[in-house]
Structure 1
Amino acid sequence: MGALYGYYRAADAQAAVRVADEPGGPTVANSSWDAVDGKGIDPAVVLGRLVALVRDTPWHTGLVDGTVVWPAGGYPADWERVPENSPWVTGPWIEELGPAARDTLAGIDNARIADLAARWARIEEFDRQAEPFALQSFLERLVLLARRARAAGEKLYCWSSL
């Protein structure tokens, strides 16, 4: 079983971390969050590759400009001393995406979505297993989520868990 990802919007980090207490995150049935199930789409690399395609720029690790907001307090200085029951070990983890990434996604013209999904499906991280149609459907929903977040003055977040 791989990592699970859910993208959602919230006014700020304080509001966003409330999802950490909800089993299954923001995309479970009957969730009150405005969210999109990201399946295996991590924010830094796979989503970052999409942002690079949209901007027609080379991908780099900071492209999405994410900041971990849960667990609080920043990354542990000594991973070997982190207790087994620490949220750093057990998850979930919540990352705030940078506003430029949100705006890039919100600004995608609907006419470009099919082409972007087809090109995105060919990135090496998908290992030729990505279905362009499924990525197109995800991208359509993500673009709409990003537009709603931008219109409301909110940020995009990624919830992840193992």
Structure 2
Amino acid sequence: MGTINTYFSAPDDAMAAAVVDDGPVSFAPVVDAVEATVQGGTLFALLTEQTYEKATADRSWARLITEPDHESAWVVSLPAEFTDALADASDEHLASIVGPWSQSEEFWGGADPAELLDMLREWRTLARTARERGENMYCWMSL
């Protein structure tokens, strides 16, 4: 059984945490959400040309904003650096990292780069929208 990850934007931690039970689809202002079966750490490292360890070492990376003892879902915040790196990524940059990303452990070493590139473009749109609205990006995860 895997984890479902849905990336979304919200004005603040309290509003983002409010979706923990039903997911971002229950959050009326959120029109833009990207569902994925992967986490963003490796993507953040590739976008910023850092090691995974360095990219995810900051305390703001995937900071839990919901109760840690919730039954089967939780929400984490993503740092502004992730949003900015994704929002600022050109198509060329996304295309250059999708190959290595598709071979990462997150995809068991073999995902279709073309499909991932489409997903990355959706994520980029979400990041740009969040930044334009002055919102933060979050990830809702559920078992």
Give the aligned length. Answer: 139
Aligned to 2:103: 122
The CA deviation string for residues 13-59 of structure 1, in whole angstroms up to 9 with x for no partner, is: 1111121232xx2258x975221011x212xxxx1111111111111
The 8 Å contact of residues 38 and 106 in structure 2, kept in 1 or not, is answered as: no
TM superposition shift of 1:107 = 1.0
From 44, 50, 56, the equivalent of 1:51 is: 44
Tell me, yes or no, if structure 1 residue 8 matches structure 2 residue 4.
no
Range with greater deviation from structure 2 (150-159 or 54-63):
54-63
Tell me, yes or no, if structure 1 residue 41 matches structure 2 residue 38.
yes
**TM-score by structure 1 length?**
0.77
The CA deviation string for residues 37-83 of structure 1, in whole angstroms up to 9 with x for no partner, is: 11x212xxxx1111111111111142672210112xxx5xxxxxxxx
Q: Quickly say closer, same or farther: Cα 1:21–1:124, change in 2 above 3 A.
A: closer
The CA deviation string for residues 85-131 of structure 1, in whole angstroms up to 9 with x for no partner, is: x41xx121000001111111111112222222122101133222311
Give 4+ residue runs of structure 1 displaced > 6 Å after superposition. none
Tell me, yes or no, if structure 1 residue 67 matches structure 2 residue 63.
yes
Structure 2 stretches lacking a partner, 5+ long: none
The 8 Å contact of residues 12 and 155 in structure 1, kept in 2 or not, is answered as: yes
The 8 Å contact of residues 26 and 32 in structure 1, kept in 2 or not, is answered as: no
The 8 Å contact of residues 94 and 160 in structure 1, kept in 2 or not, is answered as: yes
The 8 Å contact of residues 97 and 157 in structure 1, kept in 2 or not, is answered as: yes
RMSD, aligned CA:
2.1
Aligned to 1:112: 93
**TM-score by structure 2 length?**
0.86
TM superposition shift of 1:132 = 0.9
The 8 Å contact of residues 27 and 37 in structure 1, kept in 2 or not, is answered as: no
SS of the equivalent of 2:141 reads strand
